[in-house]
Structure 1
């Protein structure tokens, strides 16, 4: 592991003489006793949230029977993977993820360039609108597009037939194209969020120099702008590719009915759709995902190793925007079209579907409010709503608290062991929700009976905290890294205790980042389905599970009502997040 300059200086300063005691004793002597106890407890907690489910995956892949049942150890799960069907599933997973990543990168780069480097009208508003699909739970848009693009009674196909008089249905979301299309709706705003700031930070004089040497705008964009954006683009594209491999909702809703299977749906089917459940195969193939992601990250390191992409230097510059003339309304229309297709259409379908008696029959005499009454009187909905709110508020608060603690130790201290703490906190970043769910399924089942977590709402809470920890650490690490160490030193010199310094200075300065991270983690909990569908039990259902059960039972109309309510929640929390960011920037 490469050490930073501060770490190397710290190591030189604290390097012992030959006559010094052992390294372990030096660490114990240099680190306060309370810090040692705190680090130990924190390491144990992170190990339970990350290392434990990973080790249980290994255990389950070698165990011949379901969790909690006596069995033998063998390699049957790995033997089952080596088959033509499993190879096809692996190729499907990689191919679909690659097929959605390439066009998503192109569209995201175009959107980022338009909104960061051109004079397109209403750029601030458009930026908020094009990122909104990222915050909508995928299960909602999946169900909406299942109603929009159904080849028999889909609204878009009905409109096409009404306009043209044809009897054909040009749109069929239950296909490879449907899977890729739905995945792109989340991939594009995800990539946009990762790369738009890189476009803003680049010195425009580099592009101006290319133009002065005779390069066209297109050549400048391809040979200068994109090459300088390579680190951001490569990292974002690889993360998007990984998220494509992890994706569960799109293949489940649009792939499974068409006989298209990927690794995540194969894991789900192995446990929930086969009799008896094939737990050993499911955990073995989960390790295939982990190995594949590890190789992808190694590939990224290899691509960027030894290359310099410095675009921000000590020389001052003023970010400039490109004057597009009349073409600025074309770029405006492109951004507006993306928002219309990814947000207005699916939300509009949910709105229409909630007021008609039967999905697909849109006549005036079919208008009704009975679906709202059914949802309002549904005990399962209110139980799911209550569980989602409880897990969201408690989970987001605990996750941000844990992430803030890990980030403080990693960024603001020189304690030995902080690297291990940071590595364990980041481990779930490489584990898809359904893989982590399988690991916890084994882990909770094998806990002593005195620790009753299996089959309770606390199983979901622990899984959500584990999945959200990498995000919370990243948000809080960025916030702590911006604060000078002089702030703490000045406070301590004036007699303040460490607790007073944390409360009055550190926490007061990073609370906007905490609030933004809290909203992001809450969004993550509200939209999580893959881990929830494996760990829930009767009484602990969350809204995503309730929606999935209603959809499976053919209650598309009630799904529309609940989807609209969840959309209102998304808009409210997104507004809160943007308000906090605006106040924070204004204060700075």
Structure 2
């Protein structure tokens, strides 16, 4: 005999589900999460999906070559890139160059950066507090700064225009020294060394000196302490620095573009740029897909390594001590190493660029050869630049575009980052917050030039109600917002995690709506983090080359793309002047962040 069914029991679960749906749908954080999720599906996921689709569908103009209709499925582009007669030129040689340069630059930067990081973090290096900041300056400069400085010094007759300083002094640098793999390797190594100093130096600083002292009292040598204590504890930071430097090197565009193309030394990024320039959209999609895959795998390994970091945690707190290790007779050789790095990484490139902008002829240090024509001159004997950059309408147009586009995009990215942080922290649906967190992090996994190609693949043609955006400032604006969301969203999540609910609950109890609470309570409290969330994308955007070089046209040039056009015209002095202005803007932004947040980029290395 069956027991009587309790009234309403069969409807308990649906009722509970309906109740939760009503409660969640009335929660502002849930609505905000859904709106943000829809926005970033369109800004981030759709472009990446679009370029992956272009790899296997016939592009307009290739119908006759593939014998298929436009948008039909095809393996033509995959075969052309990986297994055709031109695949060696299109892909395999650029891939080999990319991996060789990225791996070698990583090894050199990590080796030098680890040594310098240890010197400024754990030794009695003379002037180590000053070096802790000075050695990080190259981190604030665009990589193109070093490429143009190298061209200024070593340019030879292979490229037209004025010669470099060395040739002007009577010596002709060979092509292998002036262009190609060697200078690209040297420049990227110097450019990434500060990144290694930051990551490894901070990790070394957090190691308790008591463990080293105990080992030394037990008779362990310095090399054994370094091998069995210091390096194992700093291994996660070392691996993370290696992976991040490698991933960034794979997507680097400006250095191989400036120094590699004169001798046909191509990397994946320049091969992608050439494919887009010759309207091989399917080939460009395949190359971009490979760059994206390398970035995803590399940074996926970094995420796994960060989880492994917990295995290397040491007990700290009040008992933790930090002692400077005496260098003894190695003190001044170590000082010379740090000084030489600063000389090669800061003084020489910036000095060469600055001097070149006030010289009529390179490498001639006579009074009559110095001039300010490339800054404020008029009636210059050049076709595309008739006046100095400060009197040139093109410069002010590029500067205006940089400030307007990058500034507006940074402001929107910072605000969206804070809203993402609020939605992730406050959302009653953990899966929704996790999805939002992961999607806003996706652009970090994709090198800039591949992400730009993805944006171009999606927005270069009309899509439903959206017109074609290529050639307009809007595509730069949207691309920069999406590209900077990893930094802005992580800043917002970190800030909102530290904000309790009490102030907002008090506002709700007093009758304030969600917009009022955000405007008068949440955002004013988070003013400092929000300013940082705006300024960090601004600094990155001002220096950005890879993202803009594909999406910008002459009418929408920013400073970085206009500088590259001047390089193409062989207007070396003018290009150098523009890069110096970019470096000045980047330094000013970094200083402003330090002042607002009352911290410094190298604070973790100072004692």
TM-score exceeds 0.5: yes
Gap change, CA 1:121 and 1:552, over 3 Å in 2: same
* Offset at residue 141 of structure 1 (A): 2.4
1:316 aligns with 2:316: no
Structure 2 vs 1, CA of residues 72 and 423 (structure 1 numbering), >3 Å: closer, same or farther? same
- Equivalent position to 1:569, from 585, 595, 602: 585
Cα shift at 1:384: 0.5
Partner SS, residue 472 of structure 1: helix
**CA-to-partner distance for each residue in 1:323-351, whole Å, 9 max, x for gaps?**
33564444333223212211111111111
CA distance in 2, matches of 1:487, 1:115: 42
| Map of 2:492 onto structure 1 | 476
Q: Which residue of 1 aligns with 2:187?
A: 182
C-alpha separation between the residues in 1 aligned to 2:395 and 2:78?
40
2:149 counterpart residue number:
144
Return 398-407 or 543-552, whichever deviates more: 398-407
Contact 1:157 1:170 in 2 (8 A): no
Shift of 1:500: 6.3
Corresponding residue number in structure 2 for 1:451: 466
Matched, 1:291 2:323: no
Q: Deviations over 1:317-374 (max 9, x none)?
A: 2333223356444433322321221111111111111111134555433222221122
5 Å-filtered alignment, 1:77-92, equals 77-83=77-83, 84-85=87-88, 86-92=91-97
Structure-to-structure mapping, 1:551-562, within 5 angstroms: 551-562=567-578
Query: Cα distance 1:338–1:379, how it changes in 2: closer, same or farther (>3 A)?
Result: same
Which residue number corresponds to residue 543 of structure 2?
A: 527
Deviates more, 1:383-392 or 1:474-483: 474-483
TM-score where L is the length of structure 1: 0.87
Give the match for residue 234 of structure 1. Answer: 239
Equivalent pair of 2:425/2:497 in contact (CA under 8 Å): yes
Aligned partner (choices 384, 401, 408) of residue 387 of structure 1: 401
Please name the residue that 1:349 is paired with: 352
1:21 is matched with which residue: 1, 5, 14? 14
Q: Determine the structure 1 residue equivalent to 2:443.
A: 428
1:155 is aligned to 2:162: no
Q: Distance in 1 between matches of 2:514 and 2:131?
A: 44
1:51 to 34, 38, 45: 45
Task: Give the drift of 1:110.
Answer: 1.6
Distance 1:167 1:544, change over 3 A: closer
Unaligned 5+ segments in structure 1 are 1-16
Q: Aligned pair in 2 of structure 1 residues 431, 300: CA closer, same or farther (>3 Å)?
A: closer
Per-residue deviation at 1:291? 2.2
The 3 A distance-change label for structure 1 pair 541 and 407 is same
Partner Cα separation in structure 1 for residue 238 and residue 514 of structure 2: 41
* Residue in 1 that maps onto 2:417: 403
Checking the alignment, whether the CA contact within 8 Å between 1:359 and 1:556 is kept in structure 2 is: no
Q: Secondary structure at the match of 2:545?
A: coil
431, 437, 454: which one aligns with 1:439? 454
Cα separation, 2, equivalents of 1:36 and 1:304: 30
Alpha-carbon shift at residue 491 of structure 1 (Å): 7.2
> Contact conserved, 2:166 with 2:172, CA < 8 A, in 1?
no
In 2, are the aligned partners of 1:201 and 1:312 still within 8 Å (CA)?
no
Distance 1:325 1:32, change over 3 A: farther
Quick check: 1:53–1:443 contact (8 Å CA) kept in 2? yes
Write out aligned runs for 1:364-379 (5 A).
Answer: 364-372=367-375, 373=377, 374=387, 375-379=389-393
Q: 1:467: which partner in 2? A: 483
Contact 1:139 1:527 in 2 (8 A): no
Q: Note the C-alpha offset of 1:61.
A: 1.6
How far the C-alpha of 1:514 sits from its partner, in A, is 2.9
Q: 1:123 aligns with which of 122, 128, 135?
A: 128
1:64 aligns with 2:58: yes
Q: CA deviation at 1:271?
A: 1.4
RMSD: 3.1
* Equivalent-residue separation in structure 2 for 1:24 and 1:285 (angstroms): 47
Q: Name the stretch that deviates more: 527-536 or 381-390.
A: 527-536
Q: Identify if the C-alpha distance between structure 1 residues 458 and 303 changes in structure 2 by more than 3 Å, giving closer, same or farther.
A: closer
Bigger mean CA offset, 487-496 vs 258-267: 487-496
Q: Distance in 1 between matches of 2:519 and 2:223?
A: 52
- From the superposition, tell whether residues 246 and 27 of structure 1 become closer, same or farther in structure 2 (CA, over 3 Å): farther
- For 2:298 and 2:581, locate their aligned partners in 1 and report how far apart those are by CA, in whole Å: 38
Distance 1:304 1:135, change over 3 A: closer
Residues 176-215 of structure 1: pairs in structure 2 closer than 5 A:
176-215=181-220
1:173/1:212 Cα in 2 relative to 1: closer, same or farther (>3 Å)? farther
- Aligned residue for 1:75? 75
Q: Which runs of 5+ in 2 are unaligned?
A: 1-9, 64-68, 158-162, 378-386
8 Å CA contact retained: 1:150, 1:172: no
**Paired residue for 2:139?**
134
TM-score for both structures, normalised by structure 2: 0.84
Larger radius of gyration: 2
